[in-house]
């Protein structure tokens, strides 16, 4: 495993692969990381778009003005000045927060891990969209929680379906620890929860005393610049909000955070200290100064436009090239398109063939805890430039046409 | 809890405090962090000693030459080039390793947390020196393992005592998951395991098939520049080695690592990905370049001399000022002196009084999982300059003299 540096999202998939061994999948994706392969698999933001003179200005000022502090240990909750800046980031999506409620974490992923550690006992139930973020499934299942999926459509999670699941599980005498959701530009489906449903979900959380974990990595990357009310803003006492700078600045600084009701926050600070003592002060200072001295909102607007263009390249090429029996989501923002394959195709089985055809994706089963999603695929448009995306879609279309022909031949043979 | 930024070591103590509530202890240490108090409590290295022109040179080159990669996600095992440098750091203590065996973690603390997560089920036993590192006790107990202490003396852990404990626990049908030890310049006791005992412990690990977790944050900070054979070098198949750059470069970059037998390493990489996807690439690049382009061994030698001088200031002032019924360890290196108070004194009860006298320490019970250590104290000499250390010891001596008088008066009253 040593010398292969996989996209961590892809790597997470490899550990959840069914059928194939994890090492086999890792080997496959190691091939997929070769330059001749168009990877529509990863979830890596296009960090090359940042202004590196500005970044260097920030890091230099941090080291020269705050060196001994930046290179020292910090507090378990995170740097107060940074927490105040993260509150400003939340304010850009009209979500009120106080620096006291914020805990800085190693990306959003550590927030999910700490929540799993705090809440999940073996056999507990966590509800989540189907499909859901692979890293969340991994974090909760590491504490032996069981994820039950709830249906979603083009308007996101269906509140009635949440209520049905909840009632059903509670009637069976089991405990639902929380609902995990990515309401905006969901990973992997690309869709956003409608405002009506946000209101319904907030009401449902209050009525059923249901804790909601709202994961919001992509919220600011809306292709129309639209802002939706966060669940945290609608039901603050029932929602733990998870944010990250990974998609609006840099994943390489590993600065995420959560904003939680007081008693939960206190416990999470203690768990954070147990997990790694404290966040890197150096990267916290860098994040604080980036947000405080650089035009970060203009940078977010530039990212938004860049990803919108890439998404459009992907969607238009899909419309032109994919077999007519394919359907897919139309992203409101974020990084991903969710593709449903023609009937009888298996995305996992098709992956090796796709990689031979020099295109990679993540099979849909990675995003389900229950073996569903075999006929589905996550395509990402965040990293490759538009022309490469189009080329990748054409290669995938070719593989799909061959597979469809094969399936039809088999059916004709049977008929 | 929000605005108080505690030394994370002290903060860990606060969460383990017995008798007083954690919030009470936090409040006490918040007072202790005022500038008029000499803190002999924390474990923060003297980062002000670094050359910040050199650090700025490193960060600037990283951002300008590797910006898009440094600000991107990395692989779960850590940057291959950094892992190769960490192998060089281990070589400076004559411990052979291969970059493939190394997993980069968020300080040594995360390595301990991941080991707890991998090995510890509720009720499992972990053996450790008594006293032992407070962060390790927290990490293992978070997975509901029970720590049993093993006696140590001026030559470190006593191998016969390890064997007795092991036999005893196994005879009772319980599982010992591993022995956790800081063999060199131990935190908190300041002593080092003798070479003879290292050989005996390695032999014991092989004979009893006992896994050893060797935590080595202070190894290179030997006051005489002495190098001792690591347990990992003596019994590689039975030892997981935990290292960190926190004490020889910077804790603010949060770069630690572990070096483990292959099957354990593979599982730890997966757990690392679940915990936070990957290490900060920015701080990994900084660490790699620091080790690769700067005279890091000269810096370590400078730190060694600086801490030796501070340790000597502490020891000579203790000899001159403390009541004759006190005894203490003589550190071979590292950051800490372990002080045994005169009979009938309780370090926890005395803490508020000490802080009123403007000196802080960590009571010994923090370093025991079983309530022992009430008559003991950890004193650190890493952060304050020598004159402040002397002043702190004088203040502590004054408190101790008063306490001893009080105890004697009580005994006289009884007699």
Nearest CA in chain B to A274: B139
Residue A410's CB: how many other CB atoms inside 10 A?
11
CA–CA separation, B94 vs A49, rounded Å? Answer: 44
Q: Tokens standing for B40?
A: 């002999």
- The rounded percent of chain B whose pLDDT value lies above 70 is 93
- For chain A, say whether B107 makes contact (Cβ under 8 Å): yes
Q: Does A406 touch chain B (CB under 8 A)?
A: no
pLDDT score of A40: 96
State the CB neighbour count (10 A cutoff) for residue A414.
6
Closest-approach residue (CA) in chain B for A72: B252
Tens of pLDDT along A302-314?
A: 999 999 999 999 9
Q: Which CATH architecture has domain B52-293?
A: 3-Layer(aba) Sandwich (3.40)
Could you tell me which of B12, B5, B63 has the C-alpha nearest to residue B252? B5
Task: Provide the terminal-to-terminal Cα distance of chain A, rounded to the nearest Å.
Answer: 46
A393 vs B: CB within 8 A: no
Sole residue written with tokens 């959003």? A108
In this structure, of A22-31, B11-20, B256-265, B403-412, the range with the lowest mean pLDDT score is: B11-20
Confidence class of residue A24 from pLDDT cuts 50, 70 and 90? low
Cβ-defined contact of B1 to A52 (cutoff 8 Å): no
Which DSSP category does A19 fall into?
Answer: S
pLDDT digit string, tens, across residues B366-396: 999 999 999 999 999 999 999 999 999 999 9
Per the confidence metrics, is the pTM higher than 0.90?
Answer: yes
DSSP A188-244: TT-----HHHHHHHHHHHHHHT--EEEE-SSTT-BTT------HHHH-GGGEEEEEE
CB B333 within 8 A of CB B218: yes
Q: What is the pLDDT of residues A85-115, one digit of tens each?
A: 999 999 999 999 999 999 999 999 999 999 9
Given CB atoms, is A135 within the 8 Å cutoff of chain B? yes
Instruction: Enter the DSSP assignment of A49.
Output: G
Chain A residues inside the 8 Å CB shell of B269: 1
pLDDT in tens, A318-348: 999 999 999 999 999 999 999 999 999 999 9
In whole angstroms, give the CA distance from residue B77 to residue B86: 13
Structure confidence by residue, pLDDT tens digits, A33-66:
889 999 999 899 999 999 999 999 999 999 999 9
| Residue B2 CA: distances (Å) to CA of A81, A89, B28, B395 | 12, 19, 15, 30
pLDDT of residue A33: 80
Q: What is the mean pLDDT of residues A340-366?
A: 95
- What is the reported pLDDT for A18? 47
Q: Give the ranges where A48-133 is alpha helix by DSSP (H).
A: 52-70, 80-91, 107-119
Of the candidates B382, B396, B409, the residue with the CA atom closest to the CA atom of residue B326: B396
Name the pLDDT band for A13 (thresholds 50, 70, 90). low
Residues in A touching B79 (Cβ below 8 Å): 5
As given in the structure block, the two tokens for residue A161 are: 């379906």
Residue B345 tokens, joined? 């004194």
What is the spatial order of strands in the sheet that A362-363 belongs to?
Answer: A327-328, A336-340, A376-380, A362-363
Chain segment B259-317, per-residue pLDDT in tens: 999 999 999 999 999 999 999 999 999 999 999 999 999 999 999 999 999 999 999 99
The answer for residues whose C-beta is within 8 angstroms of residue B105's C-beta and 6 or more apart is: A276, B78, B111, B114, B256, B257, B258, B272, B279
Percent of chain A whose predicted confidence (pLDDT) is above 90 = 90
Q: Cα A266 to the chain's mean position, in Å? A: 25
Q: At residue B8, does pLDDT exceed 70? A: no
Interhelix angle for A134-141 vs A107-119, to 10°? 30
Across the range A213-226, mean pLDDT stands at: 97
Average pLDDT over residues B21-42: 80
Domain with CATH 3.40.640.10 in chain A: 52-293
Q: H-helix or E-strand containing A380?
A: strand A376-380
Ranges in chain A annotated CATH 3.90.1150.10: 10-50+298-414
Provide the percentage of residues in chain B whose pLDDT is more than 90.
90
pLDDT of residue B14: 59
* Nearest-CB residue to A282 (from B100, B269, B283): B283
Report chain B's mean pLDDT, rounded to a whole number.
Answer: 94
On whether any CB of chain A is under 8 Å from the CB of B344, the answer is no
Contacts of B403 (CB under 8 A, 6+ apart): B342, B345, B350, B353
- Split at pLDDT 50, 70, 90, the class of B29 is confident
For chain B, the straight-line distance linking the first and the last C-alpha, in angstroms and rounded, comes to 46
- Residue of A8, A46, A73, A290 to mutate when probing chain B, most B C-beta within 10 A: A73
- Give the mean pLDDT of A6-28: 60
Cis peptide before A156 (omega within 30 of 0): no
Residue by residue, DSSP assigns A106-124 as EHHHHHHHHHHHHHPPTT-
Could you read off the pLDDT of A109-152 as tens digits, one per residue?
Answer: 999 999 999 999 999 999 999 999 999 999 999 999 999 999 99
Check residue A413 and give its pLDDT. 82
Going by pLDDT thresholds of 50, 70 and 90, the confidence category of residue A8 is low
Can you give the pLDDT at residue A2? 33
Q: Which of residues 271-300 of B touch A (CB under 8 A)?
A: 271, 273-283, 286
Tell which CATH classification among 2.60.120.650, 3.30.300.10, 3.90.1150.10, 3.40.50.11540 matches the domain A10-50+298-414. 3.90.1150.10
């Amino acid at each position: 495993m040593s010398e292969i540096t996989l996209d961590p999202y892809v790597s997470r998939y490899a550990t959840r692969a069914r059928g194939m061994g994890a090492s086999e999948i890792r080997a496959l994706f190691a091939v997929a990381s070769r330059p001749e392969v168009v990877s529509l698999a990863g979830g890596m933001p296009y960090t090359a778009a940042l202004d590196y003179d500005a970044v260097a200005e920030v890091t230099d000022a941090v080291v020269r003005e705050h060196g001994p502090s930046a290179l020292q240990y910090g507090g378990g909750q995170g740097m107060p000045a940074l927490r105040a800046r993260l509150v400003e980031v939340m304010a850009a999506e009209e979500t009120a927060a106080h620096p006291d409620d914020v805990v800085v974490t190693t990306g959003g992923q550590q927030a999910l891990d700490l929540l799993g550690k705090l809440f999940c006992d073996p056999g507990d139930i966590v509800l989540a969209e189907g499909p859901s973020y692979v890293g969340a499934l991994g974090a909760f299942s590491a504490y032996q929680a069981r994820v039950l999926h709830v249906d979603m459509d083009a308007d996101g999670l269906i509140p009635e379906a949440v209520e049905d699941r909840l009632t059903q599980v509670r009637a069976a005498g089991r405990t639902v620890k929380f609902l995990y959701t990515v309401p905006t530009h969901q990973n992997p489906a690309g869709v956003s929860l409608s405002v009506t449903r946000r209101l319904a979900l907030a009401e449902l959380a209050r009525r059923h005393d249901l804790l909601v974990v709202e994961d919001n990595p992509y919220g600011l990357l809306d292709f129309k610049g639209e802002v939706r009310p966060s669940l945290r803003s609608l039901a603050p006492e029932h929602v733990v909000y998870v944010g990250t700078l990974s998609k609006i600045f840099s994943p390489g600084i590993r600065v995420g955070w959560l904003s939680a009701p007081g008693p939960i926050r206190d416990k999470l600070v203690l768990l954070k200290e147990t997990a790694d003592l404290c966040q890197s002060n150096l990267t916290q200072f860098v994040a604080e100064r980036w947000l405080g001295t650089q035009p970060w909102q203009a940078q977010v607007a530039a990212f938004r436009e860049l990803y919108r263009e890439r998404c459009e390249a992907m969607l238009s090429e899909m419309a032109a090239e994919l077999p007519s029996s394919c359907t897919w989501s139309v992203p409101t923002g974020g990084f991903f398109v969710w593709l449903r394959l023609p009937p009888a195709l298996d995305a996992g089985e098709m992956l090796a063939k796709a990689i031979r055809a020099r295109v990679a994706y993540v099979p849909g089963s990675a995003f389900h805890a229950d073996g569903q999603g075999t006929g589905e695929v996550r395509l990402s448009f965040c990293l490759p430039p538009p022309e490469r995306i189009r080329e990748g879609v054409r290669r995938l279309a070719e593989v799909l046409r061959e597979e469809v022909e094969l399936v039809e031949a088999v059916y004709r043979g049977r008929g």
